[in-house]
Structure 1
């Protein structure tokens, strides 16, 4: 009798532990399914970028490139068997717009990672939420403060704005061998512009020269007469345009009208073929610096970019897509590589750890090689120079990738 009771109790105990085991297994499975932005067959990536505001000239081509790149990835089988879903939110280049977009992508759409995060000011306004939610971000702003001090979940895709300012000064002082140059900087009164003015002052000081002028011109300015006359008064022989395409065109046109003929050097956003098309003869001699290659450049990565893009949109080669299209494609390449390396166990932290294993990652010449470590999320510090060909309306590279000398 006692033996039967003991056997019955043992059976009940085994059933109980079996039930607990299944329960725990179920909870583990449920947890795996609840990884933000990742399911058995889908990975959600969000983009916060201007589509309808003053920076739409950046946002529209960037978004097109990201969508095309991940469309291609999905057609090749996706990443570890999962298809990538790209979700886009228009922040209209405003801080409130970026905050609203972040909330939607995090709390409604549950994205694994984010791209761009608006401009410099918008990104800075979101940093505390990024850290709280532990969301990996590939920022659009290249300000040094995006990655310095180090932030675990923030990555940048190339040389910082400060690096690019330094390279421009290196070009004037070393390549052109300018003696006591009078350098003026034109910039918008935004976080992006102020960041670069700080860098310009510091770099000029390192070369023992004082800036000839600091002139404020807003984005998409149509009339820059007063600012051009102000520049002319400074006697500047070099003018760095820390501006968007529209303002750069206005400055070049108005300068020609008033006989002001310094060497204009476009910075990042002004390194665009649209400046040549819009300014025409006023862009004669125009040079510019950028961290990315142009649509028509002869590199393996750009050849593949063109092939895939034109497969999806035949006959759309001209007007050439600008470098913000290249930026979206290159950013997508970097994130895709990180997700591949994370494998099936993809989540926000394995994604970050995987990205930190990239060393001299080859983008096929879209940019300089990309390297991240567990203490440095800045992809590199290299830029190159372009000169305008007005007849062909293209920007031709005339240097290789360059690091700052100082």
Structure 2
């Protein structure tokens, strides 16, 4: 009798041991303290808080959504390590070093200018990074820096093609001027024009630069007016862009105005008021009015946590960038394992890049991008290459094109690159 009871007990214990892994595998993989650290910097103070603060909120709210509703990345919660760059490039290298020292696996900057400063520290270490808004100089030649979207050169090319096909009705070549921020934001659009203006039949007659603190650009615009320009393209941030557009209106310039993605959006509409009516712009992410799952979630969390940012494009761009980073980390967990990532340092960064970023394919970021998030290689570190053009009508940005692909331009192979 005792032997039979012992036999039954042993069978029961054996069954429990066999079944337990089946149940535990269905639950969260992460144990207490097991997280995936992500570094993020935004210019939340300094000269561009109108961009930095909503961007900061977009990153943070996306992490809350990811951890609460998506189970983190690969079953592990994301821990956000956020720092304010104050748009001070002297601080950026220190921030990147802090990210690396604290065990971050990947990092993001809000702006292309932050990323240019950051890459001096991150690239030699092999520490991968994404910039929510990215320029040609960040991506060419390819390094450990990636763009979740097209770059500012792509913005210029897309607008120029639209202008030639739908707006320009004159004879000969239209005269275009560029007005760019004196940093990678302005430089990217200049690169696009240098690469493609002649091919598209556009005469670039003036290239002006401005500071982020500018309050008047009448002198440069008067020169452009005297040159008889037909079209002006601005690649900047919202506040300087509003100054330039207001000055152009005050000078009575009857021209078409287009803007790169960092210039355009709700902040420009708020700052420029009636002066920005009719202005064109480029966007890389879905509109707040689009009926896609990602917009519904972004709207839900924005209304709950930061209702003042509702309909803000920087919030949405940074939210989208964080979803892309989550997909990268999920791939890295699946392909390299949490143990590899948990060690931090160069081996973990290499795993994130080779087993995460380079394994991306077919991810639509819940409908927030025009194409799909994927890695194609061959010199293309843009993880999505679709964009859309808008025009400000009645105080709102209205789409004037569908999503369109931005072909890769290999700037580093052009004779003038780097000179």
- Specify the TM-score bucket, using the shorter chain as the normaliser: 0.7 to 0.9
Q: Say whether 1:351 aligns with 2:352.
A: yes
Residue by residue over 1:235-294, the C-alpha shift from the partner in whole angstroms, topping out at 9 and shown as x without a partner, is: 112111112111121122222222112111111112112222322222221111121223
SS in 2 for 1:235: coil
Please give the TM-score of this superposition, normalised by the length of structure 1.
0.81
Q: CA deviation at 1:331?
A: 0.9
1:264-283 → structure 2 map (5 Å cutoff): 264-283=257-276
Rg: which structure is higher? 1
- Structure 1: runs of 5 or more not aligned: 1-37
SS in 2 for 1:387: strand
Question: Counterpart in 2 of 1:127?
Answer: 119
Rounded Cα–Cα distance in structure 2 between residues aligned with 1:403 and 1:381: 6
Q: Is the CA contact (8 Å cut-off) linking 1:166 and 1:203 kept in structure 2?
A: yes
Q: Is the CA contact (8 Å cut-off) linking 1:186 and 1:242 kept in structure 2?
A: yes
Question: Counterpart in 1 of 2:140?
Answer: 148
Question: Counterpart in 2 of 1:85?
Answer: 79
> Could you tell me which of 330, 338, 344 is aligned with 1:340?
330
Q: Is the CA contact (8 Å cut-off) linking 2:136 and 2:191 kept in structure 1?
A: no
Question: Counterpart in 2 of 1:198?
Answer: 191
Q: CA deviation at 1:169?
A: 0.9
Runs of 4+ deviating beyond 3 Å = 117-120, 318-321, 373-376
Q: CA deviation at 1:374?
A: 5.3
Q: Say whether 1:103 aligns with 2:97.
A: yes
Q: CA deviation at 1:195?
A: 3.3
Q: Is the CA contact (8 Å cut-off) linking 1:98 and 1:117 kept in structure 2?
A: no
Number of aligned residue pairs: 361
> Could you tell me which of 371, 375, 380 is aligned with 1:372?
375
Question: Counterpart in 2 of 1:258?
Answer: 251
Q: CA deviation at 1:319?
A: 6.1
Q: Is the CA contact (8 Å cut-off) linking 1:142 and 1:160 kept in structure 2?
A: yes
Q: Say whether 1:322 aligns with 2:323.
A: no
1:2-401 → structure 2 map (5 Å cutoff): 40-76=33-69, 77-107=71-101, 109-116=102-109, 119-120=112-113, 122-151=114-143, 153-179=144-170, 180-313=173-306, 316=307, 320-343=310-333, 344-345=337-338, 346=341, 347-352=348-353, 353-368=355-370, 369-373=372-376, 375=378, 376-390=380-394, 393-401=395-403
Q: Is the CA contact (8 Å cut-off) linking 2:93 and 2:120 kept in structure 1?
A: no
Question: Counterpart in 1 of 2:345?
Answer: none
Moved more, 158-167 or 75-84: 75-84
Residue by residue over 1:127-146, the C-alpha shift from the partner in whole angstroms, topping out at 9 and shown as x without a partner, is: 35323433221124422332
Moved more, 297-306 or 370-379: 370-379
Q: CA deviation at 1:45?
A: 0.9
Residue by residue over 1:99-144, the C-alpha shift from the partner in whole angstroms, topping out at 9 and shown as x without a partner, is: 111122222x232211117533x43344353234332211244223
Coordinate RMSD, CA, aligned: 2.4
Please give the TM-score of this superposition, normalised by the length of structure 2.
0.79
